[in-house]
């Protein structure tokens, strides 16, 4: 069956199943310092939204926030108030109290550094959790989060919305023959509290891995003030390249090179397909993105940072993963 048709049928089946569910899934949010909390709550809580997803409701939230990140400090109050007044969400004082009121959790804190501590009580409560990008502020914490998920038997996943954009799904469905290489370009703005690529380049990196899959073995990074180019060597002779953009135009897209054709992502997308995946995950407890792929993504970005520190020499993912344990 055609991949796009399968995706459409899956979404239709999900909406149908959720429409007939006896009780809506009670969703909690942790960290109200990103516009994602408003966008996601609108899709879930607002029946008038054209892409409304029935069957769940954001009912409670923990404010969070990071004083040393301007985009968190200056926005958390506004998003908290908006979530409370427009969507009727109860603001609770602790994550532990939140866990008593919900069936599933969206960890939305824009700062990846507190994610390990914030997700710990969620895992202890046995609640499935979606962890927004970046899953953590270090590769060590990425590994620790998935280890804790496995230890407690509580499923989680993390993903950029880019992975599930309709335009990227359509690109993957094109018959280009055997994939030999790909280029993913997009914004790579920096935040001093995070490894270079974790903060915003995680989006085009996610898109790169969406088409390339796992199997990256080493990377080389070329760094300039406005641009980063990271070239990854994959198993089987495949090559994947990230073109990270900063102080210039920052569109995003993917180009794939196959044995039969070259194809390019046509346009962007929105949050709805990601939220469909999140809601399906809450229902089934089966992550749509494997821990192995997310770990490899962050090892790719950490190896790129190490390559920068070494002046652009190749760095293996195996090396950075061993160091991060």
b/e 205-220 (16+ beta carbons within 10 angstroms → b): bbbbbbbbeeebebbb
- pLDDT tens-digit profile of 27-41? 999 999 999 999 999
Token digits for 296?
Answer: 């490899």
- Give the model's confidence band at 22: pLDDT under 50 very low, under 70 low, under 90 confident, else very high: low
Q: What is the pLDDT of residue 276?
A: 98
Same fold: 3-161+272-289 with 164-268+296-324: no
- What mean pLDDT do residues 80-92 have? 97
H/E segment holding residue 37: helix 36-45
pTM attached to this predicted model: 0.93
Calculate the alpha carbon distances from 232 to 214, 241, 280, 305 in Å: 11, 6, 32, 13
CATH code: domain 3-161+272-289 is 3.40.50.720
Decide: 83 and 38 in contact? Cβ < 8 Å: yes
Domain boundaries, the chain: 3-161+272-289, 164-268+296-324
Q: Note the pLDDT of residue 68.
A: 97
- The pLDDT of residue 6 is 38
pLDDT in tens, 270-300: 999 999 999 999 999 999 999 999 999 999 9
> Is the confidence at residue 69, as pLDDT, over 80?
yes
The domain 164-268+296-324 is placed in CATH, from the list 1.10.10.10, 2.30.110.10, 3.40.50.970, 3.30.360.10, at 3.30.360.10
301-304 long-range contacts (CB < 8 A, ≥24 apart) are: 301/195, 301/196, 301/197, 301/198, 301/201, 301/202, 301/205, 302/139, 302/195, 303/218, 303/219, 304/196, 304/197, 304/219, 304/221, 304/228, 304/230, 304/242
Reduced to 3 states (helix: H, G, I; strand: E, B; else coil), residue 267 is coil
Percent residues over pLDDT 90 in the chain: 92
Say what the pLDDT of residue 298 is.
98
- From residue 102, alpha-carbon distances to 62, 72, 164, 169 in Å are 12, 24, 26, 32
């Amino acid at each position: 069956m055609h991949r796009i048709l399968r995706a459409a049928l899956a979404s239709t089946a999900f909406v149908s199943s959720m429409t007939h569910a006896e009780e809506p899934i009670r969703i909690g949010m942790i960290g109200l310092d990103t516009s994602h909390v408003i966008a996601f709550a609108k899709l879930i809580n607002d029946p008038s939204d054209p892409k409304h997803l029935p069957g769940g409701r954001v009912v409670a939230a923990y404010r969070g926030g990071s004083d040393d990140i301007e985009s968190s400090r200056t926005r958390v109050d506004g998003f908290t108030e908006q979530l409370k007044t427009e969507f009727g969400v109860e603001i609770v004082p602790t994550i532990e109290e939140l866990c008593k009121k919900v069936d599933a959790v969206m960890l939305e804190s824009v700062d990846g550094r507190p994610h390990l501590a914030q997700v710990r009580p969620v895992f202890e409560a046995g609640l499935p959790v979606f962890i927004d990008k970046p899953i953590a502020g270090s590769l060590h914490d990425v590994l620790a989060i998935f280890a804790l998920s496995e230890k407690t038997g509580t499923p989680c996943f993390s993903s950029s919305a880019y992975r599930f954009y309709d335009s990227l799904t359509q690109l993957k469905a094109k018959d280009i023959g055997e994939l030999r290489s790909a280029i993913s370009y997009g914004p790579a703005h920096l935040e001093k509290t995070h490894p270079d690529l974790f903060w915003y380049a995680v989006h085009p990196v996610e898109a790169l891995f969406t088409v390339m899959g796992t199997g990256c073995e080493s990377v080389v990074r070329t760094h300039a003030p406005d641009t980063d180019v990271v070239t990854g060597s994959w198993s089987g002779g495949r090559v994947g390249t990230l073109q990270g953009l900063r102080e210039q135009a920052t569109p995003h897209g993917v180009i794939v090179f196959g044995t039969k054709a070259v194809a390019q992502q046509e346009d962007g997308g929105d949050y709805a397909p990601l939220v469909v995946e999140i809601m399906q995950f809450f229902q089934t407890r089966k992550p749509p993105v494997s821990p192995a792929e997310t770990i490899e993504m962050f090892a790719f970005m950490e190896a790129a940072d190490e390559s920068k520190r070494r002046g652009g020499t190749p760095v293996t993912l195996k090396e950075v993963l061993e160091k991060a344990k």
